[in-house]
Amino acid sequence: MPYAAAIARATQAKIICVHVVEPVVPTVGYTGLAEPLPIADVSQQLENSAERELPKLAESEEYAGLEIEEVIVHGDPAAEIVRVADERQVDLIVISSHGRTGLGRIIFGSTAEAVVRHAGCPVLVVKPPPQEESEQ
């Protein structure tokens, strides 16, 4: 977000901050909980969290004076980011890469890579600061 904010300030652009709520898929055979949470409840909790946390980002001093629109969508992250960008005719997508390599990338895929491949506009992929990388 800091890179997007710097670019938006320099170009007097609007930021569209997209949060994608991924579908929750039950794990077959997992019995770690005494009573599994219903999938609908988990999905609703994710939606509520996004609705609660996303506005806090735009309200912080770091982003004061910028026009920020918050969008919450559901589905595959890369596909939804590209779809929103196409619909809104954005000029640039700024996305963070988790920097996964090897097996982690094979298992989890790369949202940033898929966005780069399918976006109809330029994509700036930024690496998170070292402290964020270690938290992932």
State both tokens at 23.
């579908």
Q: What is the pTM of this model?
A: 0.74
Are the CB atoms for 72 and 19 separated by under 8 Å? yes
Q: Which fold has domain 2-24+36-135?
A: Rossmann fold (3.40.50)
What does the domain layout of the chain look like in residue ranges? 2-24+36-135
Are the CB atoms for 36 and 26 separated by under 8 Å? yes
Q: Evaluate if residue 36 carries a pLDDT over 60.
A: no
What pLDDT was estimated at residue 95?
A: 92
Q: How far apart are CA 53 and CA 76, in angstroms?
A: 20
State pLDDT tens for residues 77-133. 999 999 999 999 999 999 988 766 655 555 556 888 899 999 999 999 988 766 654
DSSP string, 38-71: PHHHHHHHHHHHHHHHHHHHHHSGGGTT--EEEE
Who contacts 90 (Cβ-Cβ below 8 Å, separation ≥6)? Answer: 16, 84, 121
Q: How far apart are CA 84 and CA 38, in angstroms?
A: 29
